[in-house]
């Protein structure tokens, strides 16, 4: 955090807070809130979640201990957190059309554009610099889903929404199609009220319709079952019991948001950076599977997808191809990559080939049975 030299005597913090919200809107944030750093009430729940191993291979979540709930330990000197949200829902998201076509790859809609980490961090940095122009040098540090920060709890305290049963932040006028970011500051700004009451009520749609049952109880997600974790965070093989449940979801999952009634109020993004890249949106699984590593790196430059690397990209796509409708072209593509594939990818190709061949055999049997029925029952018209 930058060295502090501002003089609190000369600053009207109430006016400054109002200006910060105005500057935030000018920088493209849909909403800006300010909260204190007291997250004590969340420490026990965080520890229970870690103790149950729900974080899976995300060891960094446990490595930082309670720093996630103690902003001043993470960044000494922090007094307040400026919490922001930025909408990312693109026009023509085509959710149902993409999920319905088993031959195309479904990529979580947040990942179809530019990496949000870079976009929001740069805007937060500009917000900090704008505050600095107003008050002189002060301590600030931006975070965007990249450090041990309880961002949803902070955003909830700052009045940006409530944490839904799917664990995501939900807003009554915007649903949950937005990113969160935080600016830690050493200024004693006035805080906002936790203005939105919990709005889930008796609705359990996200728990009921999660493909893998990852929402093990209201507000609690076992990441080890979550498709987003399995396709993004997991380094090794995707457990076989979950492969068929992934369907054509090859990077992330939006299901728990798609079934949330509040997302009928989702706001479309104004950010061109979050609009889909055509080489990623609703492409044929085979097309993406045939990308070599240079093509993958070129087509995912500046995208959050690049972080999983070409090997896990192929792993995910192999599962998608196994779940696709039977197609000789898919079998050909899988077989072509089998010999040169890494051990990780090969395991998933072998599984996918077994799925495709089984479905193809079943299809042939049904077709043969249909022909026999026609020849026997309709001999004149056979």
Query: What pTM was estimated for this model as a whole?
Result: 0.91
Determine the 3-state secondary structure of 161 from DSSP.
coil
For the chain, what's the residue count?
382
pLDDT band at 197 (very low <50, low <70, confident <90, very high): confident
- Average pLDDT, rounded, for the chain: 92
pLDDT at 333 over 60: yes
Whether the Cβ atoms of residue 338 and residue 356 lie closer than 8 Å to each other: no
Residue spans per domain, the chain: 8-91+105-185, 284-373
The pLDDT assigned to 369 comes to: 80
- pLDDT more than 70, % of the chain: 97
Q: Which residue among 59, 145, 193, 292 is the active-site one?
A: 145
The pLDDT assigned to 9 comes to: 56
**Which H/E stretch holds residue 357?**
helix 343-377
pLDDT at 172 over 70: yes
Determine the 3-state secondary structure of 284 from DSSP.
strand
Cα–Cα dist 250/162, whole Å: 29
282 is catalytic: no
Report the binding-site residues: 68, 145, 166, 169, 180, 200, 203, 206, 210, 226, 228, 253-254, 256, 260
For the record, the structure tokens of 59 come out as 């060891």
Question: In sequence order, what are the residues at sequence separation of 6 or more whose Cβ sits closer than 8 angstroms to the Cβ of residue 291?
Answer: 299, 310, 313
pLDDT at 61 over 80: no
pLDDT band at 8 (very low <50, low <70, confident <90, very high): low
Cα–Cα dist 322/250, whole Å: 12
- Which tens digits make up the pLDDT trace of 73-112? 889 999 999 999 999 999 889 999 999 999 999 999 999 9
Please provide the DSSP assignment of 3-67 as one string: PP---GGG--HHHHHHHHHHHHHHTT-SEEEEE-S--GGGHHHHHHHHHTTTTTT-HHHHHTGGG
What is the mean pLDDT of the segment spanning 152-166?
Answer: 96
Report the binding-site residues for cob(II)alamin: 68, 145, 166, 169, 180, 228, 253-254
What is the mean pLDDT of the segment spanning 11-23?
Answer: 96
């Amino acid at each position: 955090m930058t060295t502090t030299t501002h003089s609190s005597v000369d600053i009207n913090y109430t006016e400054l807070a109002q200006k910060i919200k105005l500057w935030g809107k000018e920088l493209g944030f849909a909403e800006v809130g300010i909260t204190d750093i007291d997250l004590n009430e969340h420490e026990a729940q965080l520890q229970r979640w870690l103790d149950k191993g729900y974080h899976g291979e995300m060891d960094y979540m446990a490595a930082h201990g309670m720093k996630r709930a103690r902003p001043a330990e993470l960044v000494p000197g922090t007094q307040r957190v400026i919490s922001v949200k930025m909408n990312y829902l693109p026009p023509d998201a085509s959710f149902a059309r993409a999920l319905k076509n088993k031959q195309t790859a479904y990529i979580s809609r947040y990942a179809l554009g530019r990496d949000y980490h870079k976009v929001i961090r740069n805007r937060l940095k500009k917000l900090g610099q704008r505050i600095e122009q107003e008050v002189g040098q002060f301590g600030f540090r931006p975070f965007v889903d990249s450090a041990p920060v309880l961002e949803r709890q902070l955003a909830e305290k700052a009045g940006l929404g409530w944490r839904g049963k799917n664990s995501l932040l939900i807003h009554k006028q915007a649903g949950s199609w937005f990113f969160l970011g935080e600016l830690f500051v050493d200024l004693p700004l006035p805080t906002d009220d936790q203005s939105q009451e919990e709005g889930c009520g008796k609705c359990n749609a996200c728990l009921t319709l999660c493909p893998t049952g990852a929402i093990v109880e209201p507000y609690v997600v076992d990441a080890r079952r979550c498709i987003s974790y399995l396709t993004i965070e997991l380094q090794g093989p995707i457990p076989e019991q979950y492969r068929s449940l992934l369907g054509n979801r090859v990077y992330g999952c939006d299901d728990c948001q798609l079934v949330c009634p509040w997302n009928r109020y989702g706001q479309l993004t104004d950010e061109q950076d979050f609009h889909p890249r055509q080489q990623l949106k609703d492409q044929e699984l085979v097309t993406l599977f045939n990308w070599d590593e240079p093509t993958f790196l070129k087509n995912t430059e500046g995208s959050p997808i690049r972080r999983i690397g070409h090997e896990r990209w192929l792993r995910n796509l192999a599962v998608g191809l196994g779940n696709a409708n039977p197609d000789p072209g898919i079998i050909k593509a899988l077989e072509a990559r089998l010999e040169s594939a890494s051990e990780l990818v090969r395991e998933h190709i072998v599984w996918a080939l077994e799925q495709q061949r089984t479905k193809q055999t079943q299809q042939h049997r049904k077709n043969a049975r249909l022909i026999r029925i026609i020849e026997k029952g309709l001999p004149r018209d056979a």
